[in-house]
Structure 1
Amino acid sequence: MPSEKVSFAGHDGSALAARLDLPAGPVLASALFAHCFTCGKDIPAARRIAGRLAAMGIAVLRFDFTGLGHSEGEFANTGLSANVADLEAAASYLTTHGLAPGLLIGHSLGGAAALRAAPRIGSVRAVATIGAPFDPCHVTGHFAEALPRIEAEGAAEVMLGERSFRISRDFLRDICAENLEADVRGLGRALLILHSPRDEVVPIDNAAKIFMAAKHPKSFVTLDDADHLLSRAEDAEYAAEVIAAWASRYLGLKAPPPPPGAPEGVVRVSEADANGFLQDISHGPWHHVLADEPVEFGGTNRGMSPYGFLAAGLGACTSMTIRMYARRKGWPLAHVEVDVTHAKVHARDAEADSGGQVDEFRRVIRLEGALDEAQRARLLEIADRCPVHRTLTRGARVVTELAPVPQRA
């Protein structure tokens, strides 16, 4: 998916660094992603979720809050209120570019900010939180030993992970001013809560409190043994899948009209992992699968291989064609099953004229029902009339061209 570097003015006028992840085709909806406490827009979970949403036609703006990542400003002068104001500024940026956000996604403290910001952004229809706290003051537990010094001196440097951050007394007072109960009760948007029962940073009882305070429509999905940052690729992928499927219900996604000559529309394949071979495959906003290679070939085996999809297309088309014929004839076909295998065979074994090797797809068709031998033989003949079978045996032409580089104002 195309990913553009952009910037906009935050709550105090500081330039906030952002990435706008765009679909390769028409934009069907837009979303905002708010990162976790002292994290940034480029953590793996943010990239994966943005990429998955972009693959289904949803543009995603993810940005660094004031004073974090590549954004300007002083982190010590921020707090939950500043994060909320930065989210409003991000929404305004998207709106001025014709991309008013319909979805807010917040990770950890970003989830708290999203819950508070959503009612202030008129275009938002749905909010998804990941490991969000019910009481934002929980973040002070990361630097509890420094709290007396911060109160006494007004500010202090604290180590969070391997980085130093300046925390001010005003930051503490803002972040601990109140919990989110009133914000959640008055959310007025569809809410999805994702949380891991093994989250050691924000305990799962926070999710329970948010869920109990929220009004319907609301949903809770457990992230099982994921850590707080969704640092494992499979956990980030799962969260992305759930958010994408859930959000489509509330964003009113409509498939764009198919291009001339392509009545079934466009199948879009987008790289999901530049370090491996994982691919997002989308057909309109509703159909999504993953393609990959086996581990022994450098992949992660999280989806079928390209030849696996080719075999699946042949098998599905075969089964559909047989069913269509039997239905038209009124024959008692109870069930169809097609096993397809693919191999390279020597051309002479395949009775081909050319030398070298050719691809061989072998089908084993099982027909269940009170069919006589003549009917079974006829259905076997009909299998060869499957359009995909004919495409493979007759050959096809592939026309390839480079897409133009998108230009945005």
Structure 2
Amino acid sequence: MRTERITFSNAQGQRLAARLELPEGGPPLAYALFAHCFTCSKELTAAVQITRTLGSRRIAVLRFDFTGLGESEGEFAATTFSSEVSDLVAAARFLEREYQPPRLLIGHSLGGMAVLAAAAEIPSTQAIVTIAAPARPGQLRGLLGEDATRIEQKGEASVNIGGRAFIIRKSLLDDLEAQHPLEALRRLRVALLVMHSPRDRVVAIDNATAIYQAAFHPKSFISLDPADHLLSDGRDSRYAGEMIAAWAGRYLAPPESPVPSPHPPEAMDGRLTARTGTEGFRTDLSVSGFSLVADEPVEEGGGNQGPSPYDYLLAALGACTGMTLQMYARRKGWPLEEAVVRLSQEKIHAEDCRDCDEKDRRIDRFERELELRGQLDETQRQRLLEIAGHCPVHRTLTGEVQIVTTLRPDSPS
């Protein structure tokens, strides 16, 4: 999977910043648009995790900052709900012009209400997903509490949302009141997936009930319990992404037949599959449902399209080390906030290694540096240093290893 930084213009000519998540090793199954929550950005944990999960499942996703937010141009105070819908339509037209028309629309919180409204102006839409979306336009007014009264009286007011100050104008509240999302939903004839957590304290789950009841079939509901409104736990947002990908596959496949896996038998037997073609050394990897790519640097005859095999070896050791340290620290109740592992590898002559028995060969030497962040005392830090040597990949690399290679018979012609 790769991420591209792009920009496109909205109806007012302002540049909106976006990221496009694209699968590696082949064309996407479909293109999708993701609309983030009110005053959020494309870099919100949920937005990043969901779109990257979908990218790994061969659904390309464009996520962008609405006008005046994140890296996009414009003044947020001058925006309305209708301008957000307009931004979504502009994003869809950009995809249609530069890539393919979006067939899947995904909206989080107020972004969910926005994709319901925008779908009528995006004719390529075949499926819609709402995540923790409000069904009633007045939901935002209720969440603003006393700030809403100040906005009504003065025409605008500075409101603290998530620790940041935003100028919100009465025009936004008036525009929201004029919306009828459930009526718009009843006019749509596309597949709908409603996702909501019963523990959502920002937008109550009865909003999901109203959206679901207003929609025509095909429609589905998935509970996101125990997630919060923002899906701030990465496990919740990745789960949402996995469920969206599984559900959307039914509606995004070509009508003639389901999209076949390029190598179904190997993808189903639990093994890692590596495929290297005739040009260069680019190798497409498939493991546990994830698509990866490996390559060699240009100076080694490759195209530098992905990490090298040794890079993946270091990645395995680094990931395993970090996971092992966190598992141990959590079991002990130690305040290890983050474990950072930095690795390098080189081949050295055996005579440079005092622990080596054979002196006429070269061996692999790994340098591993640990950065342990958190309020740990020196005894805890030293113990974690010892634990690093007990991670399973470390033990595999330093233990007895057997690699048995067999030749698969030619397939009958």
Does TM, scored on the shorter chain, surpass 0.5? yes
**Distance (whole Å) between structure 1 residues aligned to residue 323 and residue 78 of structure 2:** 51
Whether the 8 Å CA contact 1:344–1:358 is kept in 2: the answer is no
Aligned to 1:197, the other structure's residue is in SS state coil
Provide the alpha-carbon RMSD of the alignment.
3.0
Aligned to 1:136, the other structure's residue is in SS state coil
**Distance (whole Å) between structure 1 residues aligned to residue 251 and residue 327 of structure 2:** 32
1:359 matches 2:368: no
Equivalent residue letter for 1:22: L
1:234 matches 2:245: no
- Tell me which residue corresponds to 1:177: 178
- Tell me which residue corresponds to 1:168: 169
1:184-223 per-position Cα deviation (integer Å, ceiling 9, x unaligned): 1112110000000010000000000000000000000111
Deviation at 1:300, TM superposition (A): 7.6
- Tell me which residue corresponds to 1:206: 207
Taking structure 2 as the reference length, what is the TM-score of the superposition?
Answer: 0.66
1:132-173 per-position Cα deviation (integer Å, ceiling 9, x unaligned): 000132112332212232222221111112111111111110
Task: Return 5+ residue gaps in structure 1 as ranges.
Answer: 270-278, 284-290, 302-341, 347-355, 361-391, 397-409
**Distance (whole Å) between structure 2 residues aligned to residue 20 and residue 136 of structure 1:** 30
Change (3 A) 1:153 1:124: same
Question: Residues 13-52 of structure 1 correspond to what in structure 2 (within 5 A)?
Answer: 13-26=13-26, 27-52=28-53
Whether the 8 Å CA contact 2:25–2:284 is kept in 1: the answer is no
- Tell me which residue corresponds to 1:394: 405
1:217-242 per-position Cα deviation (integer Å, ceiling 9, x unaligned): 00001111110000011111110110
Deviation at 1:179, TM superposition (A): 3.3
- Tell me which residue corresponds to 2:12: 12
**Distance (whole Å) between structure 2 residues aligned to residue 212 and residue 172 of structure 1:** 25
Any runs of at least 4 consecutive aligned residues in structure 1 with deviations exceeding 3 A, and if so which?
255-262, 265-269, 291-296, 298-301, 342-346
Equivalent residue letter for 2:146: E
**Distance (whole Å) between structure 2 residues aligned to residue 22 and residue 266 of structure 1:** 15
Aligned to 2:82, the other structure's residue is in SS state helix
- Tell me which residue corresponds to 1:281: 290
Taking structure 1 as the reference length, what is the TM-score of the superposition?
Answer: 0.67
Whether the 8 Å CA contact 1:109–1:136 is kept in 2: the answer is no
1:143 matches 2:144: yes
Whether the 8 Å CA contact 2:276–2:284 is kept in 1: the answer is no
Task: Return 5+ residue gaps in structure 2 as ranges.
Answer: 264-274, 293-315, 329-392, 408-413
Whether the 8 Å CA contact 2:192–2:218 is kept in 1: the answer is yes
- Tell me which residue corresponds to 1:222: 223
**Distance (whole Å) between structure 1 residues aligned to residue 29 and residue 323 of structure 2:** 38
**Distance (whole Å) between structure 2 residues aligned to residue 141 and residue 300 of structure 1:** 42
Equivalent residue letter for 1:297: T
Question: Residues 2-401 of structure 1 correspond to what in structure 2 (within 5 A)?
Answer: 2-26=2-26, 27-252=28-253, 254-255=259-260, 266-268=284-286, 281-282=290-291, 293=320, 297-298=324-325, 357-359=399-401, 392-394=403-405
1:315-362 per-position Cα deviation (integer Å, ceiling 9, x unaligned): xxxxxxxxxxxxxxxxxxxxxxxxxxx99799xxxxxxxxx85325xx
**Distance (whole Å) between structure 1 residues aligned to residue 90 and residue 394 of structure 2:** 56
Deviation at 1:393, TM superposition (A): 2.0
Whether the 8 Å CA contact 1:134–1:180 is kept in 2: the answer is yes
Change (3 A) 1:71 1:344: closer
Equivalent residue letter for 1:161: G
Deviation at 1:295, TM superposition (A): 7.3
**Distance (whole Å) between structure 1 residues aligned to residue 149 and residue 396 of structure 2:** 75
Aligned to 2:290, the other structure's residue is in SS state strand
Whether the 8 Å CA contact 1:344–1:359 is kept in 2: the answer is no
**Distance (whole Å) between structure 2 residues aligned to residue 172 and residue 158 of structure 1:** 13
Deviation at 1:19, TM superposition (A): 0.6
